[in-house]
Structure 1
Amino acid sequence: MNIDEIRLSIESKMSKSVDVLVSNLAKIRTGRAHVGILDHISVDYYGSSTSINKIANVNLLDARNIQVVPYEKKMINVIDKAIRESDLGLNPISFGDSIKVPMPPLTEERRKNLVKVVKSEGEETKVAVRNIRREANDLLKKMVKDKDISEDDEKRSQESIQKITDHNIVLIGQIISKKETEIMAI
């Protein structure tokens, strides 16, 4: 493995860590409706666990309501039950061939707890990014020890890796800040 491969590898790994953060934050419910909130809910569909968005059309009715229209009418009760039993605290309402999922407003206390969860997710991602940096730096030290690269190359590479790390830490901070603002907005 050479220096360029190491740099590309850490950029990719750090980018994936940030993507996981964004995905995890999308599951944290704010007072506003968004279709991604139902993505992790699965239902039994002919013997296999399938996410709701694979067996139904999920879209927004307005800022506070999601509409779920199953492709097969007989799945309405199954989807309704899965949404009720999820950890999201939602109460779906069945309307013949569709389900309306109203998003209840959040209390101030619940908002503050969600902000703590968001900050915790952000810290975990920052730790993951720093661990990726540490692994890359350890690899560079090994390469110097094995005389594959010079100490000057190691220094330049460490500076490059630090810039990539700093960029991702700032990006994580921006994502967290945006989500906090979204949660605290009434």
Structure 2
Amino acid sequence: MTAEVDLNDLKRRMEGAINAFKHDIASLRTGRASSNLLDPVQVEAYGSRVPLNQVANITVPEPRMLGVSVWDKSMVGAVDRAIRESNLGLNPIIDGQNLRIPLPELNEERRKSLVKIAHDYAEKAKVAVRHVRRDGMDGLKKAEKDGVIGQDESRAQSDRVQKMTDDTISEVDRLLAEKEKEIMQV
């Protein structure tokens, strides 16, 4: 195992944390309907928890309305319950096998709570990046201890890992600032 391959793997894992963060903040509502809004919703179905999109189709028939067409009629109640309990502030209206979900105007309090959720997602992403950094540093220390690389090479690689970590965390902060501005825009 070369140290260069290790750095590429660390970079890939850090990018994975950024992609997961982007996915998380895309699901935060900013006042207009998006099918991504329901991505975090998990439904109790057939004895396990599954994502909503595995038991229903999600559509956006109007700018301030979501439509959910449940495939199995017996799952309508479970889908309704999952959406209500998802902490998204949504109240579905059951219409046969379909659910209509009107998106209320965001008030100041709700905007602030969404910003708080975005900050939680950002912190989760930063923790993931720091775990990747820790794994990289531990690998470098082990390689140095085993005599695979020298002390100078280990320090140089450690500096590169730290720079990758700093760059990734600043990218998370930039994305968070953009989302926060989007949420607070009236």
**TM-score normalised by the shorter chain: which range applies?**
0.7 to 0.9
What percent identity do the matched residue pairs reach?
38
Aligned to 1:51: 51
In structure 2, what is the equivalent of residue 142 of structure 1?
Answer: 142
Distance 1:108 1:101, change over 3 A: same
**SS of corresponding position for 1:175:** helix
Matching of residue 166 in structure 1 with residue 166 in structure 2: yes
Give the superposed CA RMSD.
2.5
CA shift for structure 1 position 48: 4.3
Aligned: 1:94 with 2:64? no
Paired residue secondary structure (2:136)? helix
1:8-47, Cα deviation, whole Å (9 max, x unpaired)? 2311321222233223323433322221222233334444
In 1, are the aligned partners of 2:56 and 2:69 still within 8 Å (CA)?
yes
In structure 2, the residue matched to 1:39 is 39
Q: Structure 1 residue 180: deviation in Å?
A: 0.6
- The TM-score normalised by the length of structure 2 is 0.82
Distance 2:116 2:97 in 1: 38
Partner Cα distance (1:50, 1:129) in 2? 27
Q: Which residue of 1 aligns with 2:68?
A: 68
Code of the residue aligned with 2:117 in structure 1: it is: V
CA contact (8 A) 2:126 2:169 kept: yes
Counterpart secondary structure, 1:88: coil
2: distance between equivalents of 1:155 and 1:9?
A: 18
Residue 122 of structure 2 corresponds to which residue in structure 1? 122
Q: Note closer, same or farther for the CA distance 1:172–1:76 as it changes in structure 2 (3 Å cut).
A: same
Say whether the 8 Å CA contact 2:30–2:182 is kept in structure 1: yes
Aligned length: 186
Secondary structure of the corresponding residue to residue 155 of structure 1: helix
**More displaced 10-residue stretch of structure 1: 98-107 or 21-30:** 21-30
CA contact (8 A) 2:71 2:97 kept: no
Give 1:69 shift.
1.5
Note closer, same or farther for the CA distance 1:129–1:101 as it changes in structure 2 (3 Å cut).
same
**TM-score normalised by the chain length of structure 1:** 0.82
Distance 1:123 1:72, change over 3 A: closer
Q: Residue by residue, what CA displacement relative to the aligned partner does 1:70-116 show, whole Å, maximum 9, x if unpaired? A: 23445434423332343222111233442211111221122123223
User: Which 4+ residue blocks in structure 1 deviate beyond 6 angstroms?
Assistant: none
